[in-house]
Structure 1
Amino acid sequence: MRYGYLLTGVLSGMMVAVHAQEERRDERPTTIDSIDVVRDYRPILADAVKIRRSPDMSNKRQYHPKFNYNILDKKLDINTGTKQLTIQEMPFARTQTLTNNYAKIGAGNLGTLLGEVYLSSDYWIDTRLGGYVKHLNQQGTLDEQRFSSQQIGIFGRTILGPITLDGEVGYSRYGTRFYGMVNDIDGTSLNFDRSRQAFNDIYFTGELVSNYDEQATDAFSYSLKADAYAYSNAYETRENSFALAGYLNKQVGVFNIGANVSGDFTGVSDASYRLSNNIAKVNPYIRFQGANYNITLGANFVAEFGDSARTNIFPSAEIDFALVPQFAHIFGGITGDVNKTSLKELTRENPWLAALGESNYIRNSVDRMHVFGGIKGNAGATFGYKVKAFYRRIESMPFYAVTPGSPYTFNVIYEDGENASTIIGLEGEINVRVSEVVTLGGKVNFNEFDLQREEEAWYTPKMRLSANARFNISDKLYIDGELLFQGQTYGLIQDANVNLSGYSITEIGDTGMRKATVPSFADLSAGAEYRATDRIGVYVRLNNMLGANYERYLFYPRLGLNVIGGVNFSF
Structure 2
Amino acid sequence: MRFSKLLYTTALFITAGTFSLQAQDTKTTEKKKDDKTIAEEIEVVRPYKPVLAEAVKLRRSPDLNDVKTYKAKFNYGLTDRKLELNSDINKLQAQQLADERKAELVNNYLKAGFGSASTSMAEAYINLGGDEALQAGGFFRHFAQSGKLNEQKFNQQEFSVFGRSILDQVTLSGRLNYQRNGLAFYGQDPNNSFQNLSPEKQAFNFFEAEGEVASKYTTDENALSYAAKINGYIWGDKFNAKENSVVLNGYLNKRISSFNLGLATSIELGKTQDLLVSVGNNIFKLNPYIRLQTNGVKINAGINFVQEFGAFSETRIFPAVTADFTLIPDYLQIFGELKGDVNRTSLKQLTDENPFLNSNIEIQNSVEKLSFAAGIKGTGGPGFGYKVKVYHKEISQMPLFVNDFATPYKYDVIYDFGNMKLLGLEGEISVQVSNALKWTGKVNLENYKPASESESWFKPQLRVSSNLLYNFNDKLSFNAAVAIQDDSKAKIYTAQPAVPYVIPDRDIETTVNVKGFVDLGVGAGYKINNKFSVFAKANNLLNNTTNGRFLYYQPIGVNVFGGLTYSF
TM-score range, shorter chain: 0.7 to 0.9
User: Which segments of 5 or more consecutive residues in structure 1 lack a partner in the other structure?
Assistant: 1-71, 81-89, 498-507
Q: Read off the aligned partner of 1:534 and give its amino acid letter.
A: N
Q: Read off the aligned partner of 1:378 and give its amino acid letter.
A: T
Measure how far apart 1:93 and its partner are.
10
2:234/2:244 contact within 8 Å kept: yes
Select which of 240, 246, 257 maps to 2:244: 240
Task: Find the counterpart in structure 2 of residue 515 from structure 1.
Answer: 511
Task: Find the counterpart in structure 2 of residue 317 from structure 1.
Answer: 321
Measure how far apart 1:347 and its partner are.
0.4
- SS of 2:408's partner is strand
Task: Find the counterpart in structure 1 of residue 195 from structure 2.
Answer: 190
Instruction: Name the CA distance, whole Å, in 1 between partners of 2:550 and 2:201.
Output: 18
Q: Read off the aligned partner of 1:562 and give its amino acid letter.
A: N
1:190/1:407 contact within 8 Å kept: no
Describe the superposition over 1:466-487 as per-residue Cα deviations: whole angstroms up to 9, x where unpaired. 0111001111111111110000
2:405/2:495 contact within 8 Å kept: no
Task: Find the counterpart in structure 2 of residue 133 from structure 1.
Answer: 140
Describe the superposition over 1:189-216 as per-residue Cα deviations: whole angstroms up to 9, x where unpaired. 42243011000001112211111112x1
Measure how far apart 1:95 and its partner are.
2.9
Instruction: Name the CA distance, whole Å, in 1 between partners of 2:385 and 2:78.
Output: 61
Instruction: Name the CA distance, whole Å, in 2 between partners of 1:226 and 1:509.
Output: 43
For the structure 1 residues 534 and 455, does the alpha-carbon distance in structure 2 shift closer, same or farther, using more than 3 Å as the test? same
Superposed counterparts of 1:92-491, under 5 Å = 95-182=102-189, 187=192, 189-214=194-219, 216-356=220-360, 360-417=361-418, 420-491=419-490
Instruction: Name the CA distance, whole Å, in 1 between partners of 2:258 and 2:362.
Output: 48
Select which of 557, 561, 564 maps to 1:567: 564
Measure how far apart 1:253 and its partner are.
1.6
- SS of 1:99's partner is coil
Q: Read off the aligned partner of 1:330 and give its amino acid letter.
A: I
Describe the superposition over 1:323-358 as per-residue Cα deviations: whole angstroms up to 9, x where unpaired. 1121101011211000111100100111111101xx
1:102/1:119 contact within 8 Å kept: yes
Instruction: Name the CA distance, whole Å, in 2 between partners of 1:209 and 1:539.
Output: 39
Instruction: Name the CA distance, whole Å, in 1 between partners of 2:549 and 2:130.
Output: 46
Select which of 546, 549, 554 maps to 1:552: 549
- SS of 2:348's partner is helix
Measure how far apart 1:122 and its partner are.
2.1
For the structure 1 residues 75 and 439, does the alpha-carbon distance in structure 2 shift closer, same or farther, using more than 3 Å as the test? farther
Q: Read off the aligned partner of 1:415 and give its amino acid letter.
A: D
Instruction: Name the CA distance, whole Å, in 2 between partners of 1:158 and 1:287.
Output: 29
Q: Read off the aligned partner of 2:267 and give its amino acid letter.
A: G
Q: Read off the aligned partner of 1:531 and give its amino acid letter.
A: K
Instruction: Name the CA distance, whole Å, in 2 between partners of 1:462 and 1:371.
Output: 19
Describe the superposition over 1:84-132 as per-residue Cα deviations: whole angstroms up to 9, x where unpaired. xxxxxx9999734322210001000011111111111124341011012
1:190/1:406 contact within 8 Å kept: no
- SS of 2:507's partner is coil
Q: Read off the aligned partner of 2:372 and give its amino acid letter.
A: V
Q: Read off the aligned partner of 2:460 and give its amino acid letter.
A: P
Instruction: Name the CA distance, whole Å, in 2 between partners of 1:160 and 1:316.
Output: 33
Q: Which moved more, 1:246-255 or 1:395-404?
A: 246-255
Instruction: Name the CA distance, whole Å, in 2 between partners of 1:236 and 1:79.
Output: 89
1:206/1:225 contact within 8 Å kept: yes
Instruction: Name the CA distance, whole Å, in 1 between partners of 2:484 and 2:356.
Output: 23
Measure how far apart 1:188 and its partner are.
6.6
Measure how far apart 1:454 and its partner are.
0.8
Identity of aligned residues (%): 38
1:133/1:151 contact within 8 Å kept: yes
Instruction: Name the CA distance, whole Å, in 2 between partners of 1:266 and 1:79.
Output: 76
Instruction: Name the CA distance, whole Å, in 2 between partners of 1:437 and 1:170.
Output: 35
- SS of 1:552's partner is coil
Q: Read off the aligned partner of 2:325 and give its amino acid letter.
A: F
2:105/2:130 contact within 8 Å kept: no
Instruction: Name the CA distance, whole Å, in 1 between partners of 2:213 and 2:230.
Output: 9
Instruction: Name the CA distance, whole Å, in 2 between partners of 1:226 and 1:78.
Output: 62
- SS of 2:352's partner is helix
Describe the superposition over 1:234-261 as per-residue Cα deviations: whole angstroms up to 9, x where unpaired. 0120110000112111111211000110
For the structure 1 residues 528 and 302, does the alpha-carbon distance in structure 2 shift closer, same or farther, using more than 3 Å as the test? same
- SS of 1:166's partner is strand
Q: Read off the aligned partner of 2:234 and give its amino acid letter.
A: A
Instruction: Name the CA distance, whole Å, in 1 between partners of 2:82 and 2:203.
Output: 76
- SS of 1:345's partner is helix
Describe the superposition over 1:353-377 as per-residue Cα deviations: whole angstroms up to 9, x where unpaired. 1101xxx301110011001101011
Task: Find the counterpart in structure 1 of residue 61 from structure 2.
Answer: none
Measure how far apart 1:73 and its partner are.
9.6
The number of aligned residues is: 474
Superposed counterparts of 1:73-84, under 5 Å = none
Measure how far apart 1:495 and its partner are.
3.0
For the structure 1 residues 292 and 495, does the alpha-carbon distance in structure 2 shift closer, same or farther, using more than 3 Å as the test? same
For the structure 1 residues 432 and 123, does the alpha-carbon distance in structure 2 shift closer, same or farther, using more than 3 Å as the test? closer
1:382/1:432 contact within 8 Å kept: yes
What is the aligned-residue RMSD (CA, Å)?
2.4
User: Which segments of 5 or more consecutive residues in structure 2 lack a partner in the other structure?
Assistant: 1-75, 85-96, 497-503
Instruction: Name the CA distance, whole Å, in 2 between partners of 1:75 and 1:317.
Output: 68
- Using the size of structure 1 for normalisation, the TM-score is 0.80
Instruction: Name the CA distance, whole Å, in 2 between partners of 1:290 and 1:313.
Output: 28
Measure how far apart 1:288 and its partner are.
1.2
1:382/1:433 contact within 8 Å kept: yes
Measure how far apart 1:422 and its partner are.
0.6
Q: Read off the aligned partner of 1:126 and give its amino acid letter.
A: A
For the structure 1 residues 437 and 456, does the alpha-carbon distance in structure 2 shift closer, same or farther, using more than 3 Å as the test? same
Q: Which moved more, 1:200-209 or 1:376-385?
A: 376-385
For the structure 1 residues 140 and 93, does the alpha-carbon distance in structure 2 shift closer, same or farther, using more than 3 Å as the test? same
Q: Read off the aligned partner of 1:491 and give its amino acid letter.
A: A
Instruction: Name the CA distance, whole Å, in 2 between partners of 1:76 and 1:440.
Output: 71
Describe the superposition over 1:172-229 as per-residue Cα deviations: whole angstroms up to 9, x where unpaired. 100000001037x7x4742243011000001112211111112x11111111111111
